[in-house]
Each structure stands twice: as C-alpha cells, then as structure tokens.
Chains A and B, each alone.
Chain A
C-alpha cells in the first residue's frame, strides 16, 4: 500500500511538474484517488514538491472537499442552505440517514458512502439538492432518496446514477446532468443571440488602450457585487510594471442564493472565454485562469472541450485570429469547497496553491496579484458583458439600465416565490416590480445580494437594484410571511461561522459570538440588552475585519435588527430577579445526578 501510495503520488506530483504552486491540483488528485490525503500522503507530497509537510496539512485542512481522514468512495453532500431548508431538506436529510443507517459526518461501516452537509451549491432554484461526488442531484424528495441510495449501492459510481437530463447543455453528454438552467428571462446582453468571435475581432482591430476606453465608455462595473469599474481595473493592471500579467475569472460562485454564473458557464462559456481573451489583450496578459468552484466540477469536461475548440479555431493560443504577437491561453483551476475563495485575493492565494486566506492590501492584485504579477480578477458575468460591449459598442450597452449602473444584471431568484430561476433584467428595476415578475408580491422580506447583502422588508420595496441603491452580486432570496426572520439571520450567521478563514480576530471570534447571541434569543432566553449587544458587536466586526467577508458578515443580523425589529423584540424579555436566563441548573447537574445516582435536594425542580 505504502509503495503504491508513493508511486501514485510521485506520478501526480510529476504531472504537475512538482510545482508547489500547483498544490491544489495535487491534493485534489490525491484526494480523488485515495479518498483522503493521509498523513503519509502529506509527507510524500511535501517531499516531491519540496515544501514542509505542515504546509500540505494547512491546505488540506482548509478546504472542505479535502480530508486527512478517509472518506467513502461515494460522498453525498446534502446542501443545507437556508433555501434548501425552506424547501424541506429536513425530511430529505432524515431519509438519507435512514437509508444509509448513518448520521451526517459519518461513513457507512463498509467505508463506501460518506454523508455530509454542505453550504449552498448553487442550486437554490431547484432545491433541495445534493452533490454526490461531482454529480448534482436536484429536487430531492424522500422517495428520490430511497431510489438514489438503492441505485448507488448497486455500483458505488455516482456517474451511473439514473436521472432525467436537464435542458440545454445540461443534456450534453459531457455534462449529463439533471440540472435545469431555470432561465426565466433573457435580456439583451448575456442571453440574447450574439455573434461569437465578433467582440474579439473588434478588440484585436484596435489597441489595448482603445479597448479599455470602450469598456470605460460603457461604464461597465464588476458584476460580483462590489461594482469596481472594469475599465479602470484593466487600466491599472495594464499600467502596472510586471514581467507577466494575468487575468483571472472568478467562477467561485459561493454566495448563498447565487447561481447565475452556473447558467453562464453552462450556456455562455464561449462568451466568457472570449471576454477573458479580450481582457487579456487589454491588460497585456498571456494567460488566464478560470477559478471554478469545486461544486461546479460537473461542468469541467464541457468547459475543457470548449477551450479545446477555441484553441483549434485559433481563438486561443498563438497569434490569435492572426494578430501577430497576441498569445493567450486559459487554464481551469478547480476550487475545493471554500466560500472565502470568492474573495479575489483569497482566490489568488488558492490559485497559488496556498490556504485560501485573503492577502493584505495594498498592494492590490492589479499591482501584485497572482504569483506577484499584476492581475485583473473579474467576475464571470462582467467578462461576458465585456465581450458584448466589444461586439456591439459602448453606446449600445449603456442604453440599457440606469445611469450609474448601465447594462443588465443577472439575478438568481429563489425562496418563497412562484418562479425561481435566473432573470436577466435591466439595472434600476424596483424590488416590487421584480417581486411581481417572480410571483412573490406578498413577500415578508427579500434578501438582496446574499447573506452579505441586505434583508429588506416591504417599506423598501420601492428601492431599486443598482450599484447606487441595492447592490447585488445576483442573489435575491424571497421570504414569505411564515418565515421567522431571526431564525433566518441565525442560519446565515452559522454559514459565516463555518466559512470564514479564521485569519483575523473579529471575524473568526465575532461571528461565533453573534451566532451565540442569536441562539440565546431563539431559545427564549434573550433580554432587551442583547439586541444592543448584537448591534454593537456587529458594527465592531464590520469596522475591524480584514476582508469583505467579515466586513459584511454581520449584515443578516444588522439588517434584520433594523427592518424586522419587532421579530426580535417579541422574543426578548428582561430577567426580573438578576438571574441569568441562560443558566440551566438541571442541565448542569444532570451528569452528577447520574454518577451519584441521587437527585439534588437543593434544586428539586
């Protein structure tokens, strides 16, 4: 076994050129091959790539799809995102437990199937959903669980699972997935008919500076949520001094409730890769990396084939489309289950084969990014917009949307609405109009921008979705009147507790404290002063956290405290006698009563 391990890992490392920066590929391959990255494997990897074994351990322990301990050949990862819970994942979870006779976090006694929970896998519009190894299974029900488990136990090969195929490229033999695009509304930019190659041709006909000027004239802003002007980002990267430059595409779509990039990657990958080439030309890069979240591994064969076709058509590679000296190619870097890697500097760390810790800014990625070279990191949708701008012109693009937010925005709508799915709508749409469109006019609350965004109530439904009002990376989650907003906020805090990197104090500890406060309130043990404590702590975490995660993670609490205060106030009451409502003498004495085999006489009730 050990010799086998040695030779297999040697081959894996050699396949990656024994390159330390390719660590993600190496550990992913070892995990896939052996179902774990064991202590022994860590030593072997460290030897071949010439690093310290504890570095390998640091990486393996960071990403949830990697593990030091053995996992089953089949890993069922049931999504327990808020939307999935609303869709009844509880019963599905119980069914899995029953059919497999194990609990979550456990592996069957034969070592073949592991059952786990995982945060949002980008399938909120077809929840409840699960990943079974790389396969996605949607619309789960208790009956379906029975079928799946019976099916899996026949072959232990998730790729052989029988299911209906989804629409569009989901039915392509390279994807072969039951995922549906759920594309409810096509807009003029991303999902309209477009002329492939036209954007790239137009780009290569002009100078890089002119491209940047066109993108600036279109006033294109980043679609990931922060809204940084794309033209400026490209200009800075172009202007920065560096032997090499890189363009990275952030396809680590992990914000709960966001799944619009999934549809772009399925149906518009050509447009995306074209945008990367245009951006590469504009900034002077020869290489681009698509950072694909581990949850979207089911798309990788399709994406690789499209890249291959583009190379064949000279849309990638040397002297692209005959443009002498413009050489550019794209590789795909797979993630391994870490929400934080959607933060652009954490994404760079991960591409470099490191723990997905955000980096210190300044220097910004445009100055010193991937491997220290100037790097532009752009969202999937942004790059698609760039392709269309180069095809159709800046003026055309700016015709749609609002003044400060030109163009369209892809919105992933899920939750308590009649028509969940992806909508391409012009920026500037009012929330109430959106709710009408998706069939959720009686919504109690809407989360715009995912948990790091804002949870608003009916008083705010006249507000508009755009960079100057309600900015969003695409997530819109609707909550009906029966939902408890304190519970929802607590669920989202749980997510941030699980997903923060732990680098800085306020985010690592503060989010746990927020969660504990909320649990206390939900347990009916909260007091009015707990609401002030939540507010103060939340603001403090936002002020002092190092990256965007901690600077926004208290938002579910702070925005519900503001907009749904009565939900909190109903749950808290002052302790009249100076006793701590959280102290539970019965629970505190349970062990001793059992050990001593007598009941307390001091505390009888």
Chain B
C-alpha cells in the first residue's frame, strides 16, 4: 500500500499514501478538520459528523473516508462551518452542559470546538433531559448529563482494555451509555488505569480527586483553539 495519491483540500495539493483517511492526510499536511468523536488511538466511528467535508461535491466524514487520486475536498467553507455549528449546538442542547462547574471545563473538546466556531449561545431550545449520575465507583464518576455519545469509551473498553464495561443502550434520542452491570459502575471491573478512563472528550467520565488541578489560563484550550497543534505543523 505504498501507492502515492494526490488530491486537494480547499485547493491545497496534498500527497499521501493510499489507505490513509482524508483526516489523517489533512493532519499530516497541517490542515485541521474539526472533529469530536475521533480519538487518535481508536478506530474512527464517524458518529458525531463534525468532520463532514465535501468530497467531489458529496458530503463524507473525513475520519472514515479514504483518500483517492484526484479527489477534491472542501473543508473550510461557510456552509460546512454552519453545519458543524449546528451539530455542536445539538450536542449542547440534547444534554445538560453546565460548564461553570464542570471538571473538564477548559480541557473539554466539545467546549473547545464551540469556542473555535465562535458560538456565543446555541440556536436551538434546550431539552433539559433527565440523565443519571453514577458515583458508586471508588475512583471514577460518570455524569451522563455531559455524555455526547461519541462511543470512545465503548471502543476503548472493548478493544483496548478487553473489558466491555460500556455499551450503548436504547435508540434514537433515548440512546445512552450503560455499564456492564445491573446498574452501577462499581459492579464492573472498571479501573481508573483503563484506557476507557482517559478518552472521554467531555466531562462524562471523571477520575475522582483530580479535578481543577490546572489553574484557569493554563488549561488546554484557554488561549489556543483546538486544532492549533495540527495547524502548527503547516510550514
């Protein structure tokens, strides 16, 4: 699979080897495609749809779509910016995201994307759903008010930790994360050292006794937008 492929993103010519996804190739070229469910250590799921780009005019998820010779990718367009904004808005209103007391604030990928897109307030009405909090585990607490159903913990626990602690239950707007026990996280073999404990993009899976350790101003996204680390690769 060393075949070389040439294509463009927003007019910039990119060369990469066959088998790469659009997102991988863009990352290497220093072009940031906004994303949320994607975690570099886990297989792409294409569930959040934030990374939707136009490939030869057709919408595709950049995290799952392989590159192909001569393809034209549009990423930074007003239409896509609007679509991404809509998705971020949807994630905010379908949950209960109280940033001001959230342990993850400043390091949260959902919040950071909203900052990057310049969202001052969501345009949709809040659902104020009833969600569960599970603090039964000695080292971890789950707050499903903040869960965005990215599936990272499901994949990490199943494929990396080989424990299968998390799985989706329900469908549609009722879909949620459940744990591999009758009810409580304490009854699973989940451990704070699991990969699944480290992959949550928001404040849904939290390690106890570690919150607010970074002062405001020094947190990941306080001064630099999410994606800057990728854009800095660009020469």
Q: Touching in the complex, A and B, CB below 8 A?
A: yes
- The complex places the Cα of A499 from the Cα of B174 at a distance, in Å, of 11
By beta carbon, the residue of chain B nearest A550 is B49
B86 touches which of A51, A338, A355, A506 (Cβ 8 Å) = A506
Q: Are A54 and B167 in contact (CB under 8 A)?
A: yes
Q: Are B49 and A509 in contact (CB under 8 A)?
A: no
Residues of chain B contacted by A536 (CB below 8 angstroms): 82
By beta carbon, the residue of chain B nearest A357 is B168
Tell me, yes or no, whether A275 is within 8 Å of chain B by CB.
no
- The complex places the Cα of A479 from the Cα of B91 at a distance, in Å, of 36
Q: Are A505 and B171 in contact (CB under 8 A)?
A: no
Q: Are A544 and B83 in contact (CB under 8 A)?
A: yes
Residues of chain B contacted by A500 (CB below 8 angstroms): 171-172
Whether A516 touches B174, Cβ cut-off 8 Å, given contacts A54-B164, A504-B47, is: no
User: Among the listed stretches A55-63, A200-208, A594-602, which one makes contact with chain B, having 4 or more residues with CB under 8 Å of it?
Assistant: A55-63
Q: Are B61 and A546 in contact (CB under 8 A)?
A: yes
Q: Are B125 and A516 in contact (CB under 8 A)?
A: yes
B47 touches which of A505, A509, A516 (Cβ 8 Å) = A505
By beta carbon, the residue of chain A nearest B127 is A512
Q: Are B124 and A513 in contact (CB under 8 A)?
A: yes
Q: Are B93 and A544 in contact (CB under 8 A)?
A: no
Residues of chain A contacted by B93 (CB below 8 angstroms): 509
Q: Are B90 and A502 in contact (CB under 8 A)?
A: no
Encoded as 1 (CB less than 8 Å from any A CB) or 0, chain B from 156 to 200 comes to 000000001111111111110011111000000000000000000
Tell me, yes or no, whether B94 is within 8 Å of chain A by CB.
yes
Contact-residue size bin, chain A (C-beta under 8 Å from the other chain): 35 or more
Tell me, yes or no, whether A39 is within 8 Å of chain B by CB.
yes
Give the most central of B61, B90, B165, B170: most A CB within 10 Å: B90
Chain A binding surface, main DSSP class: helix
Q: Are A499 and B83 in contact (CB under 8 A)?
A: no
Q: Are B169 and A54 in contact (CB under 8 A)?
A: yes
Give the most central of B66, B127, B173: most A CB within 10 Å: B173
By beta carbon, the residue of chain B nearest A356 is B171
Q: Are A54 and B64 in contact (CB under 8 A)?
A: no
Tell me, yes or no, whether A503 is within 8 Å of chain B by CB.
yes
Residues of chain A contacted by B138 (CB below 8 angstroms): none
Q: Are B167 and A55 in contact (CB under 8 A)?
A: yes
Q: Are A58 and B178 in contact (CB under 8 A)?
A: yes
Tell me, yes or no, whether B147 is within 8 Å of chain A by CB.
no
Residues of chain B contacted by A498 (CB below 8 angstroms): 172
Encoded as 1 (CB less than 8 Å from any A CB) or 0, chain B from 193 to 210 comes to 000000000000000000
Tell me, yes or no, whether B46 is within 8 Å of chain A by CB.
yes
Q: Measured between C-beta atoms, what is the minimum distance from A56 to chain B in Å?
A: 9
By beta carbon, the residue of chain B nearest A53 is B180
Q: Are A505 and B48 in contact (CB under 8 A)?
A: yes
Q: Are B46 and A504 in contact (CB under 8 A)?
A: yes
Q: Measured between C-beta atoms, what is the minimum distance from B65 to chain A in Å?
A: 8
- The complex places the Cα of A362 from the Cα of B68 at a distance, in Å, of 12
Tell me, yes or no, whether A174 is within 8 Å of chain B by CB.
no
- The complex places the Cα of A30 from the Cα of B233 at a distance, in Å, of 56
Tell me, yes or no, whether B227 is within 8 Å of chain A by CB.
no
Q: Measured between C-beta atoms, what is the minimum distance from A505 to chain B in Å?
A: 5
Whether A497 touches B173, Cβ cut-off 8 Å, given contacts A54-B167, A54-B179, A506-B87, is: yes
B90 touches which of A53, A356, A506 (Cβ 8 Å) = A506
Tell me, yes or no, whether B116 is within 8 Å of chain A by CB.
no
A61 touches which of B48, B65, B164, B170 (Cβ 8 Å) = B170
Q: Measured between C-beta atoms, what is the minimum distance from B132 to chain A in Å?
A: 15
- The complex places the Cα of A536 from the Cα of B124 at a distance, in Å, of 12
- The complex places the Cα of A503 from the Cα of B83 at a distance, in Å, of 17
Tell me, yes or no, whether A486 is within 8 Å of chain B by CB.
no
Tell me, yes or no, whether A5 is within 8 Å of chain B by CB.
no
- The complex places the Cα of A357 from the Cα of B32 at a distance, in Å, of 28
Tell me, yes or no, whether B44 is within 8 Å of chain A by CB.
yes
Q: Are B172 and A543 in contact (CB under 8 A)?
A: no
Interface residues of A in 333-380 (CB under 8 A from B): 338, 340, 355-356, 360, 362
Q: Measured between C-beta atoms, what is the minimum distance from B56 to chain A in Å?
A: 14
Q: Measured between C-beta atoms, what is the minimum distance from A555 to chain B in Å?
A: 16
Give the most central of B48, B166, B168: most A CB within 10 Å: B168
Q: Measured between C-beta atoms, what is the minimum distance from A429 to chain B in Å?
A: 30
Tell me, yes or no, whether B59 is within 8 Å of chain A by CB.
yes
Tell me, yes or no, whether B45 is within 8 Å of chain A by CB.
yes
By beta carbon, the residue of chain A nearest B59 is A543
Tell me, yes or no, whether B52 is within 8 Å of chain A by CB.
yes
Encoded as 1 (CB less than 8 Å from any A CB) or 0, chain B from 75 to 92 comes to 000010011001100110
Tell me, yes or no, whether B149 is within 8 Å of chain A by CB.
yes
- The complex places the Cα of A53 from the Cα of B181 at a distance, in Å, of 7
By beta carbon, the residue of chain B nearest A355 is B168
- The complex places the Cα of A546 from the Cα of B48 at a distance, in Å, of 9
Residues of chain B contacted by A58 (CB below 8 angstroms): 167-169, 178
Q: Measured between C-beta atoms, what is the minimum distance from A24 to chain B in Å?
A: 15
By beta carbon, the residue of chain B nearest A363 is B66
- The complex places the Cα of A505 from the Cα of B173 at a distance, in Å, of 9
Q: Are B164 and A360 in contact (CB under 8 A)?
A: no
Q: Measured between C-beta atoms, what is the minimum distance from B154 to chain A in Å?
A: 9
Interface residues of A in 466-512 (CB under 8 A from B): 497-506, 508-510, 512
By beta carbon, the residue of chain B nearest A40 is B182
Q: Are B164 and A52 in contact (CB under 8 A)?
A: yes
Tell me, yes or no, whether A161 is within 8 Å of chain B by CB.
no
Q: Measured between C-beta atoms, what is the minimum distance from B127 to chain A in Å?
A: 8
Knowing that A54-B179, A502-B168, A504-B46 touch, tell me 12 more A-B residue pairs with CB under 8 angstroms: A54-B180, A61-B171, A62-B169, A360-B45, A503-B47, A503-B175, A504-B48, A504-B49, A505-B48, A508-B173, A510-B90, A512-B173
Per CB-CB distance, the 7 closest pairs between chain A and chain B, nearest first, are A502-B175, A52-B164, A509-B90, A54-B180, A54-B167, A61-B169, A544-B49
Chain B: residues with CB nearer than 8 A to chain A?
A: 44-50, 52, 59, 61, 64-66, 79, 82-83, 86-87, 90-91, 93-94, 124-125, 127, 148-149, 164-175, 178-182
